[in-house]
Amino acid sequence: MFVKKNRCKNGRILLTLTRSYRENGKVKQKHVEVLGYLDELEKIYPDPIAHFREIAKQRTAEETLNSEPIKLVLNPDTKISEHEIGLKNLGYVFLEKIYHELGIHTFFQRRENRLKIDFNLNAIFRLLVYSRVLYPGSKKEAYEKQDRFFETFAPSLEAVYRSLDYYDRFNLDLQTWLNNAILEQYGRDHELAYYDVTNYYFEIDQEDELRRRGPSKEKRPNPIVQMGLLLDSKGLPLAFHLFPGNQSEKLSLNPILNRVKEDYKFGRIVVVADKGLNCGDNIAYQIASGNGYIYSQSIRGADQEFKQYVLDQSGYQGNGEFRCKSRIYPREITFTDRNGKKQKIRVDQKQVVFFSQDYAEKARYERSRVIEKAKRYLKTPSAFTRSISYSAASYIKGIQINEDGEIVKTNTKLYLDEDKIREEEKYDGYYAIVTSELDKSDNEIIEIYHNLWKIEETFKISKSELRTRPIYVSLEAHIEAHFLSCFVALLLIRILEMRMN
């Protein structure tokens, strides 16, 4: 690979990275990358040609290294010092192969060309991603223990932290790049997108613009950051974004869908999500923007007409273990218009309801455990002097819980809410899904929705296997960069799973 000076008709010189190759005995050339006009590059670099010749030399060496057979030479006389890690990880070569197939190294190399930095963005990103999969921990730990790998990725800890600012800058561009690479290599059904939200708490006292107190999945009072994640129908991560902990998750869906449609050049998208995203604003927006939706629907929180429809046994098809029915219903929804005013519209919505004996037994078992805890509290309140779970408290009449989950002492008589228990039991085993896709069969809709488990499992992997938190950085740009490296690590794992079937 070399730097070629191409004289244009306007008299300007265009620099390109060019590769020579032979075809049918003739030497030919191929432009690998356009670097820019020489006169513009001279404003950035003292000697652009020398600068890019060095880059061409590095690229050539890297390509040669990647294409040559790997040879390991073991010297029996070499001794490992007392504090040196003698064990090297070879397993990251599988991640490395997928990483290179997605062209992430090329993505960073193209951007490094125009940056005045003394470290390798691609090498440090590889360190962060591979360490997140194999040895999840802090950025400092990843740097200090990089000798577990067969190469040195980062020249200093300072370089690692400085690189985070660039990863934040390139975040959205890299997500778009990865989507294009997956489309090219694996194909992607972009008519379906699965969406969910989770949050990550920070053990800090002072809030900032991103880390805000809000409804925590773990019921913790700490400031949190929320992450919205889109998956495709194969379970491969599609896109992510972060938003403040005090923002409603219902407001998070449309911004990421808009970005994906614009940046990825997608057409109509049918978004699949749980009942937390099922609201009038989201339904109205999806319809107005030409998209579709498949949401679960709360039965216990629905109006009386819908509850009666669910419990009415006419129309159900199937056996005692599983039965299903559906209808197309003109539903009136309330949404907020551009001027902030509440409006009402009527939309045709397919409502699919099914009963599962397995679901019924699971619901009864889980409720019985919570009720037992509530009974233990009523029997010996002193055993729960500080707190009780929200679920158990919901079955106790008269109990008061503060924002920290602690019991507020009152003189009110406490007793088990038998009426609530009986009301909930009526709906055990019933499940409802609502959709804009009127022409899809009941089985299709149920099957599509059931694949939402992939995103729930993805969040579990993110929090447990990849240990996305605790998060050891505090600047907003560095938090974004941290989640970007976790997103790419998750993508590599999912692709590896898919290829291994």
List, for residues 91-141, the tens digit of each pLDDT value.
899 999 999 999 999 999 989 888 889 899 999 999 999 999 999 999 999
438, 466, 484: which is the final residue of a domain? 438
The pTM (predicted TM-score) of the whole model is 0.80
- Write phi, then psi, for 175 (nearest 5 degrees): -60, -40
Torsion of CA 487, 492, 493, 499, to 10 degrees: 150
Least confident of 129-143, 201-215, 479-493: 201-215
Residue 138 belongs to a domain: yes
The identity of residue 1, as a single letter, is M
pLDDT at 230 over 90: yes
* Mean pLDDT on 266-280: 94
Q: Are residues 323 and 433 in the same domain?
A: yes
Q: Are residues 433 and 460 in the same domain?
A: no
CA distance 163 to 128: 11
Q: Are residues 354 and 429 in the same domain?
A: yes
Determine which helix (DSSP H) or strand (DSSP E) holds 488, and give its type and residue range.
Answer: helix 476-499
* Mean pLDDT on 352-369: 95
DSSP state of 499: H
Least confident of 197-206, 342-351, 368-377, 380-389: 380-389
Question: What interhelical angle do 157-169 and 121-134 show, nearest 10?
Answer: 100
Determine which helix (DSSP H) or strand (DSSP E) holds 497, and give its type and residue range.
Answer: helix 476-499
Q: The tokens of 273 are what?
A: 């999500």
Positive/negative CA dihedral, 294, 295, 296, 299: negative
Q: Are residues 97 and 186 in the same domain?
A: yes
386, 407, 438: which is the final residue of a domain? 438
Residue ranges making up the domain that contains 238: 84-274+452-501
pLDDT, residue 438, reads 97
Residue 257 belongs to a domain: yes
Q: The tokens of 18 are what?
A: 């060019």
**Residue whose tokens read 């070569």:** 93
State how many domains the chain has. 3
Residue 496 belongs to a domain: yes
pLDDT, residue 316, reads 95
Q: Are residues 253 and 121 in the same domain?
A: yes
416, 438, 460: which is the final residue of a domain? 438
Residue 67 belongs to a domain: no
Residue 444 CB partners (closer than 8 Å, separation 6+)? none
- Percentage with pLDDT > 90 across the chain: 60
Q: Are residues 105 and 246 in the same domain?
A: yes
**Residue whose tokens read 């949050």:** 199
* DSSP-based three-state secondary structure for 375: helix
CA distance 334 to 363: 31
Q: Are residues 115 and 253 in the same domain?
A: yes
* Mean pLDDT on 198-207: 89
pLDDT at 71 over 60: yes
**What does pLDDT average to over the chain?**
89
pLDDT, residue 327, reads 97
Q: Are residues 94 and 232 in the same domain?
A: yes
Positive/negative CA dihedral, 168, 169, 171, 172: positive
pLDDT, residue 23, reads 83
The burial of 345, by beta-carbon neighbours within 10 Å (0-12 exposed, 13-18 middle, 19 or more buried), is given as middle
Q: Are residues 103 and 249 in the same domain?
A: yes
Please, which pLDDT band fits residue 66 given cuts at 50, 70 and 90? low
Contact 112, 121 (CB under 8 A): yes
Please, which pLDDT band fits residue 65 given cuts at 50, 70 and 90? low
Please, which pLDDT band fits residue 388 given cuts at 50, 70 and 90? low
Residue 286 belongs to a domain: no
How does pLDDT run across 316-359, given as a tens digit for each residue? 999 889 999 999 999 999 999 888 899 999 999 999 999 999 99
Measured in whole angstroms, the distance separating CA 288 from the mean position of its chain's CA atoms is 26
Q: Are residues 253 and 387 in the same domain?
A: no
Instruction: Please count the other Cβ atoms lying within 10 Å of the Cβ belonging to residue 390.
Output: 11
Contact 284, 334 (CB under 8 A): no
Contact 222, 201 (CB under 8 A): yes
> Phi-psi category of 237—alpha, beta or left, where left has phi over 0 and alpha has psi -120 to 50?
beta
Q: Are residues 163 and 269 in the same domain?
A: yes
* Mean pLDDT on 214-241: 90
Residue 62 belongs to a domain: no
Residue 64 belongs to a domain: no
Residue 353 belongs to a domain: yes
Q: Are residues 217 and 124 in the same domain?
A: yes
pLDDT, residue 384, reads 64
